[in-house]
Amino acid sequence: MVTVHHRTVSTGGLDVFWREAGPADAPVLVLLHGYPTSSHMFRHLIPVLAERYRVIAPDHIGFGRSSAPSVDEFDYTFAALTEVTARFLSTIGVAHYTIYVQDYGAPIGWRLALADPGAVDGVITQNGNAYEEGFVAEFWYPIWADAAERTDETRDALRPALGRAAVEWQYTHGVPDPSTVDPDAWEHDIALLARPGQDDIQLALFRDYTTNRDLYPAVHAWLRTSRVPVLAIWGRNDEIFDAAGARAFLGDAPDAHIELIDGGHFLLESELDLVATTITNWLAAARLSH
């Protein structure tokens, strides 16, 4: 049975918590989580992948068990989260890796790749967007409105996204049988969102999300020139990033493997075995296991 370690390291005055498993000398997989969760979303996947890989899953600043300074103490932007992640990887001695990105993890992963293109050996994107085609307009409209108008009214319109109903919806929508999703997953997130200051943290990141769109042309150019292997494995019923976002990778990475699965945004909760098998087979075929 694989042993999963739960560790914390200080970098730049901030504590980064991460989960790690697998041989120390194995190829590295860096798992970057989305909103509103943490490395907790990978709790079942890590032991499966760790049979052949060194698996590292950090909590972003403001999430999980990592430091969560107030918005007055830390600039909650995706650029700032990426800087901490890059320092964290350097601190623990990771120079080359394949990234698994989901939701918020995607723009952090893209920034890591653009800053150090040679460090990223492969990309696994699970409902992690890099194209305008992926945005579901109805979901994203209030976020774009807040980023553009920056008023108290547009900011407050996003507060329901922090609530119980919205968090549970992220886990259950698009899932053929919602009873397969463990309620502990969203209860874990809801408890962390209830911490003092979390509303300001998450609303700041909502407002900053539009900066990620500005990166997309550079990400596309990196995919074309690097020819990095890409697996886009997607819950095709996701009402946040729809399946068009997965297929769009073929425009810049024509050899990308696109896998659309009958599920929603948090695919690992309902289709863990299928996702894990697809990933391990793809890693072997892409020769990322040596």
Instruction: Name the residues annotated as catalytic.
Output: 265
| Three-class secondary structure assignment of the chain | CCCCEEEEEEECCEEEEEEEECCCCCCEEEEECCCCCCHHHHCCHHHHHCCCCEEEEECCCCCCCCCCCCCCCCCCCHHHHHHHHHHHHHHCCCCCEEEEECCCHHHHHHHHHHHCHHHEEEEEECCCCCCHHHECHHHHHHHHHHHHHCCHHHHHCCHHHHCHHHHHHHHHCCCCCHHHCCHHHHHHHHHHHCCCCHHHHHHHHHHHCHHHHHHHHHHHHHHHHHCCCEEEEEECCCCCECCHHHHHHHHCCCCCEEEEECCCCCHHHHCHHHHHHHHHHHHHHCCCCC
d(Cα 281, Cα 273) in Å, to the nearest integer? 12
Closest listed residue to residue 20, CA positions, set 32, 9, 10, 5: 5
Q: At 136, phi and psi to the nearest 5?
A: -85, 115
d(Cα 70, Cα 49) in Å, to the nearest integer? 35
